Amino acid sequence: MMDILITDRRLEPVKEKVLAGARLDADDGLLLFTSNDLAGIGGLAHYARTKRHGNRAFFVHNRHVNYTNVCVNRCLFCAYSRDAADKGAYTFSMEQVREIAMAPENRRVKEFHVVGGLNPALPFDYYIDLLRTIKEARPDATIQAFTAVEIDFISKAAGLSISETLARLKDAGLEMVPGGGAEVMSDRVRQKLFPRKIPADRWLEVVEAVHAAGLTSNGTMLYGHIETLEERVNHFLKIRDLQDRTGGFSAFIPLAFHSENSRLPNIPPTVAFDDLKMIAVARLMLDNVDHIKAYWVMIGEKLAQVALWFGADDLDGTIIEERITHTAGARSAKGLTRTEMRRFIESAGFEAVERDSFYRPVNGSDQEGGR
Amino acid sequence: MNSLEYVCKKVAEGERLNTDDALCLYEKADLPTLGQLASHRRWAVKPEPVVTYVVDRNINYTNVCVSGCRFCAFHVRPGDKGGYVISKEELKRKLDETVALGGTQVLLQGGMNPDLDVDFYLDLLRFIKETAPIHIHGFSPPEISWLAGRAGLSVEELLRQMIDAGLDSVPGGGAEILDDEVRRRISPGKCDTATWLNVMETAHGLGLRSSATMMFGHVETPSQMFSHMIAIRDLQDRTGGFTAFIPWSFQPGNTKIDVPVASPCSYLRVVALSRIMLDNFQNIQASWVTQGDKISQAALAFGANDMGSTMIEENVVAAAGIRYRLPREEIVRLIETAGFHAAQRDCFYRILHYD
């Protein structure tokens, strides 16, 4: 093992802890964020990442399905949501959902990632039908659907408890829950940017119920808007505490804020130093979460490759049709082929492993096969 | 091959590396380790937490070129459609705009156009100096050696005439990879390695400073890339005339070389190795023109200490389909959010003012 050279001497105690496998505290997290010794921080995160995953980096052949953009929350940072009466408001019919699930270009998709707005016109049965329709069309694919925010909303539409709602969704085909809607777990930020969204405690409660129902989920943080570094670190601690209790988080995904077409237009895009620090600090603070994702849609394909050396071990997936971040001005591709995903990982210097939703390797028997 | 520990120790102790050492780092060191080693050298050479940039524009006086380099998407053959030679009106407009935008220099480069003689070049230089109070960073070694050959002048005599007419410094372009086997394959019409180095040595001898570049990620091997760095380093030992080293990756769009573009990880490796190998260089420049805002900022953690030019105008990389735009305020923001002070510099890397 090579020594990790630290330019910023303040990080020496953090380095000692990382090498000893000891847990970092809030002060350590803050120190990492305020240090500009990016290569040193990257070295620490790469050490922790390599201990878990060696030289492997994962991706999944997934397809995003955003079933509606109608949303009662209208968060200030969101460029995607619409009111029901707005131009451009839409909700997929079951025919449209079936069409996507059955489309020839999606025939090898291993995971459908299904998220949407909080649309008050949709009855509980809509969600059940949505899951059943996809499952019937593609019984071999996994459905990762509905953030904790949606599950809370769906349970109200159903008039059921969270656990009963989850039991029925599971029965209809739900197999995993995505990590969105956590934003930044801070009441201050919530009041300013997403006052109508469920508060942090509720998000954690719903996710805890998801894990208790035997489903895994992801965790996320939306960064790069008005949050403070203390709020970021505190967010990590909340995720880590819940993970200590449940072990249900599969991956953590930092989400870089994009301001275009949102109601926060004057916030500049995140920079590489911040994107890479988020990945690295997530890896170092979240010592009980297996996977840290570099979400290429938000940080760009190139920086996502570099992020594999800064603590990330997963590039998410092919996605095929990304709508939400592109409405907010993302300049990345809308989707990538499996061949492209593999090439990105390999040319970054890692062994590419195509995985399913549960990080089991998928036999890549058709590597030549485009999507 | 040397052990990684051994080479890292050499870097930490400030010892000069050879090709074997560089190959060891290139092939065995992980990316953060390269960043750490390069940062170590960067802070030793440039202890101030400052990253510089220059405000200038590229002026490509002609795109007609007989060189026919296979990596070039910009040139037009003599007699073909789309060829141009810049007019004085156009040139004046560009100069006025550059001065109005706070620009301090122009990068003057063009094709090897057989219709243009020495007088055209000298006239061009004089016209610029008469029109604008601006530094002329002009004519890469292939242009100079080609023109000297056609005019029957020595490189030294041509450079003397150019200096008299207003030339202030020489850009480091056309170096590609300084290995004749590589040059025969990608740019057979362009000057060879010895000539490129000789033009620079002559220029330095006449008191002209210059930059040096390297274009990698096409047909070269890693060891040819490191030979390039060592050739430049040797010349710098003799003359001290190089201001900066600028590595960039080949952009294959619209060219005749069919290779995938170098990954951003390879780019950062090469930037780091440039800093580590070129121990007699003060400045290593990041290339946002080829890499974009994010990767060029990341390069500041891999040994780069300069963000290059605001590029009021850039045509050559754009012709290969790569069009990043980065206004001055954005360059300053990238520098500051990486923890450095931003400063505008001149062509000699002297700081003009801090932002």
| CB-CB neighbors (< 8 A) of A313 in chain B | none
**Which residues 231-290 of B are in CB contact (within 8 Å) with A?**
260, 263-266, 268
* Domain A56-355 = CATH 3.50.50.60: no
The domain spans of chain A are 56-355
Residue B341 three-state SS: strand
- Give percent helix, percent strand, percent coil of chain A, each to the nearest 5: 45, 15, 40
Least Cα separation, residue B260 to chain A (angstroms): 10
Least Cα separation, residue B31 to chain A (angstroms): 6
pLDDT tens, residue by residue, B11-32: 999 999 999 999 999 999 999 9
Per-residue pLDDT at B127: 98
Residue A84 tokens read as: 């029901």
Res. B1: pLDDT tops 80: no
Residue A69 CA: distances (Å) to CA of A87, A89, A240, A252: 11, 6, 31, 24
Q: For residues B222 and B259, is the Cβ–Cβ distance under 8 A?
A: no
Res. B59: pLDDT tops 70: yes
Per-residue pLDDT at A370: 40
| CB-CB neighbors (< 8 A) of B292 in chain A | 300, 302
Mutate to test the interface with B, among A302, A313, A339, A342 (most CBs of B within 10 A): A302
- Give B206's contacts (C-beta < 8 A, 6+ positions apart): B156, B159, B160, B163
Task: From first to last of the 371 residues of chain A, give the pLDDT tens digit.
Answer: 568 889 999 999 999 999 999 999 999 999 999 999 999 999 999 999 999 999 999 999 999 999 999 999 999 999 999 999 999 999 999 999 999 999 999 999 999 999 999 999 999 999 999 999 999 999 999 999 999 999 999 999 999 999 999 999 999 999 999 999 999 999 999 999 999 999 999 999 999 999 999 999 999 999 999 999 999 999 999 999 999 999 999 999 999 999 888 888 889 999 999 999 999 999 999 999 999 999 999 999 999 999 999 999 999 999 988 988 888 888 888 899 999 999 999 999 999 999 999 999 997 554 444 44
Q: Which of B345, B269, B275, B339 is nearest to B307 (CA)?
A: B345
Q: For residues B347 and B54, is the Cβ–Cβ distance under 8 A?
A: yes
Per-residue pLDDT at A268: 94
Say how far apart CA B73 and CA B63 lie, in whole Å. Answer: 10
| CB-CB neighbors (< 8 A) of B300 in chain A | 273
Q: Which of B4, B268, B337 sits opposite A274 (nearest CB)?
A: B337
Res. B315: pLDDT tops 80: no
- What is the pLDDT averaged over residues B217-238? 97
Res. B325: pLDDT tops 80: no
Q: Which of A259, A267, A288 is nearest to A79 (CA)?
A: A259
Q: Which of A319-333, B84-98, B99-113, B231-245 has the lowest mean pLDDT?
A: A319-333
Q: Which of A36, A40, A306 sits opposite B36 (nearest CB)?
A: A40
C-beta atoms of A309 and B37 within 8 A: no
Per-residue pLDDT at A2: 67
C-beta atoms of A268 and B12 within 8 A: no
Taking the model in full, what pTM does it have? 0.95
Strands A314-317 and A351-355: unpaired
Chain A, chain B: beta-carbon pairs less than 8 Å apart: 115
Does any CB of chain A come closer than 8 Å to the CB of residue B6? no
pLDDT tens, residue by residue, B140-173: 999 999 999 999 999 999 999 999 999 999 999 9
Q: Which of B29, B263, B338 sits opposite A273 (nearest CB)?
A: B338
Q: Which of B12, B260, B268 sits opposite A306 (nearest CB)?
A: B268
Q: Which residues of A touch B (CB under 8 A)?
A: 2-7, 36-40, 42-43, 45-46, 268, 271-276, 299-300, 302-303, 305-306, 309-310, 343-344, 347-349
- Enter the ipTM: 0.94
Please count the other Cβ atoms lying within 10 Å of the Cβ belonging to residue B121. 24
Q: Which residues pair with B62 in a beta bridge?
A: B85
- What is the pLDDT averaged over residues B75-93? 94
- Kindly give the residue spans of alpha helices, DSSP state H, lying in B132-216: 141-151, 155-165, 180-186, 193-205
Mutate to test the interface with A, among B11, B31, B341 (most CBs of A within 10 A): B31
- % of residues, chain B, pLDDT over 90: 89
> Which domains, from first to last, does chain B contain?
17-354 (3.20.20.70)
